[in-house]
Every structure is written in C-alpha cells, then in structure tokens.
C-alpha cells in the first residue's frame, strides 16, 4: 500500500529509481558537490575513463545535450548520489529500476557491472544511437490523455497509411502519457491523428529517437559489445523495463538491455510491479525529479523523493529518520 507523503514509516520497503535521458540539466549536482566530495570524485573517475572532463561538459549545454555525453553524465550524477545514499540509508533497498538509460545506473549501483564499464558502455551506446539515424530526419513526441492501446493503434495506422512513416510507442511513462518515436514523417502523422481526437501531442527536443525500429542497427551493435563485458549477480534485484520484471541471469539482463534500445520502455508497468511488491517509498537517484512527478500519476502512486539537491536529500533523510 502506498504511503502518504512525508509519513514516517518504521521499517519502510524502499526502491531506488534512476532517471534517463531528458533529466539532464546544466550544472546538475553542483549544489550537492559543495557538501559531498563523492560528487566530484565520481565525475573525476568518469572523466578518467572517457579521457574528457565530464564535469566541464555538464556546464556546457550544447555538449551536454549530445547523447554520447548526456548518457555518461547522467550515469555519473546518479552513481555519485547513490554513493552518498549508501552512507546515509539504514535500510537496504528492496529493488532498483531505471528509466531507459537509467537502467544502466541501476545495474551499476546493484553491482552487476563496474562503474568504469558502465561509463564506457553508455558512452558507446550514445554513439551507436547517433550513428543509427545519421542523415535521417527524426522526432519524438509526448502524447497526453490517450490510453496506451489507442496510441499504439495510431502509430500502426500512421505506419500503414503514410508513405515512408516509421513510428511507434517508445515510453509508457504513466497512465495518459505515452511518448512516440520515429522518423519525422511518422511522428508528425501521429501528432495530427492525436490532435484529431482532441488530445495533446507535444514534440520533444531530443537528439535521437529512442526505443523505436530506427534503433535496430544500434541494438545489434550493442549486443556484441555487451557480450564482451563481465556482468555479476545483482546485490539488489533490478526490475528491467523491457518486460517490467527482474532478469535473474546475466544473459537475460544483457538481452533486455539489447532489446530495450529498439523496444518501448514499460515504465508504468515497472511502477505497478513495485506497487505490487508493496514498496512504501521511492528514492529518485539522479538529476531532477522527472520520475518523482511520474510516480504521482501512476495507477497506484508511491511517494517518491528526489535527491539531487541538499534540501531534497535532507527532506528524504528526515522522513527516513
């Protein structure tokens, strides 16, 4: 049963959730870095792996929004905050989950892969995603107010009836919020169809169209890279959003990561899985509060606390004290 906001629970069941692309912001975690040395230390580690100053990139909006930098920057922010939380939390989390890219942060935090491997992996993932759509006019849009199946139907209709259209549901974020992804022709066709129903479709500013058929070349290349990286058993179960379930084998984890690139993120279903597992509190571990806001809109809301600023972290610790 979801708890009420700011209610103290004696022995809470906690899940850690990690944000994905779109959560980045110039100067993210800067306030925390003034109080916690783990922030800069983690970014320094990532910079050493990349051979570039990742902290400096986070102060430059144009570079930060290039997907091959966005992904390691968000990973570093999440793992830096996780390292702070590890020292503060008295209760071991029951589960972890991450939205799209955030799944790599979750797997790293759970001990499945090393931080250095995770940094290299997401940097390469970003490059592969960019290369997959080079020369293609692409787009994404958030559809508001329609049921999941209706959005899927509109995508199918656009693909079937509009010349050259490639579009599909990319993120099932919450009831009434589905992101669609594909080429510009396909997404534009879906936007028109959504508007004809009287609902809203908002174009998103993104550099690559995630979780759609256009990512299939990147998915195939990523599978080869994943095969060469050692994965360990998770210290904390990670609910992966490909099927909204915990994969128990390293092969299953890698397969879910591979498929995730070109298949939709089942975030609503992941949140429902956490509700079914009677999680009391979600802790958003990373930049911003996108996932905490989505948590309020789920069928069974679970109170969620962002942690990217000192005041937010203090509020969480007050609730857990």
Q: Kindly list the catalytic residues.
A: 100, 211
**Distance between CA atoms of residues 281 and 284, nearest Å:** 10
**Distance between CA atoms of residues 106 and 239, nearest Å:** 9
Q: Tabulate helix, strand, coil % of the chain (nearest 5).
A: 50, 15, 35
Q: Can you list the pairs that 45-53 forms with residues at least 24 positions away whose Cβ atoms lie under 8 Å?
A: 45/76, 45/115, 45/116, 45/119, 46/72, 46/75, 46/76, 46/115, 46/119, 49/116, 49/119, 49/120, 50/119, 50/123
DSSP 8-state class, residue 173: E
- Residue 141 · residue 202 · CB < 8 Å: yes
Please report, for residues 191, 201, 231, the alpha-carbon distance to residue 204 in angstroms, rounded to integers and kept in the order given.
12, 9, 34
Q: How many CA atoms lie within 13 A of 163 on its CB side?
A: 0
Q: How many CA atoms lie within 13 A of 9 on its CB side?
A: 18
């Amino acid at each position: 049963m979801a708890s009420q906001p700011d209610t103290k629970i004696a022995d809470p069941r906690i899940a850690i959730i990690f944000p994905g692309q779109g959560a980045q912001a110039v100067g993210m975690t800067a306030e925390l870095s003034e109080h916690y040395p783990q922030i800069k230390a983690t970014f320094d580690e990532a910079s050493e792996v990349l051979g570039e100053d990742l902290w400096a990139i986070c102060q430059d909006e144009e570079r930060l929004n290039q997907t091959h930098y966005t992904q390691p920057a968000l990973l570093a922010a999440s793992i830096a905050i996780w390292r702070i939380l590890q020292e503060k939390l008295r209760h071991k989390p029951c589960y972890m989950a991450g939205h799209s890219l955030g799944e790599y942060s979750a797997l790293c935090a759970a001990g499945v892969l090393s931080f250095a491997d995770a940094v290299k992996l997401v940097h390469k993932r970003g490059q592969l995603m960019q290369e997959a759509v080079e020369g293609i006019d692409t787009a994404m849009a958030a559809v508001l107010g329609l049921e999941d199946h209706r959005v899927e139907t509109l995508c199918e209709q656009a693909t079937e009836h509009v010349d050259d259209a490639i579009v599909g549901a990319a993120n099932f974020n919450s009831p009434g919020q589905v992101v669609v992804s594909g080429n510009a022709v396909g997404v534009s066709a879906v936007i028109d169809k959504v508007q004809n129903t009287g609902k809203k479709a908002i174009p998103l500013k993104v550099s690559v169209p995630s979780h759609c058929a256009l990512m299939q070349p990147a998915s195939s290349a990523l599978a080869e890279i994943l095969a060469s990286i050692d994965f360990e058993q998770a210290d904390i179960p990670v609910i992966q959003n490909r099927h909204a379930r915990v994969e128990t084998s390293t092969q299953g984890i890698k397969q879910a990561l591979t498929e995730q690139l070109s298949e939709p993120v089942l975030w609503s279903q992941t949140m429902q899985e956490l509700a079914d597992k009677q999680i009391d509190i979600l802790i958003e571990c990373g930049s911003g509060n996108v996932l905490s806001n989505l948590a309020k809109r789920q069928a069974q809301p679970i109170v969620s606390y962002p942690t990217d600023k000192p005041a937010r972290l203090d509020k969480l610790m007050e609730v857990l004290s």
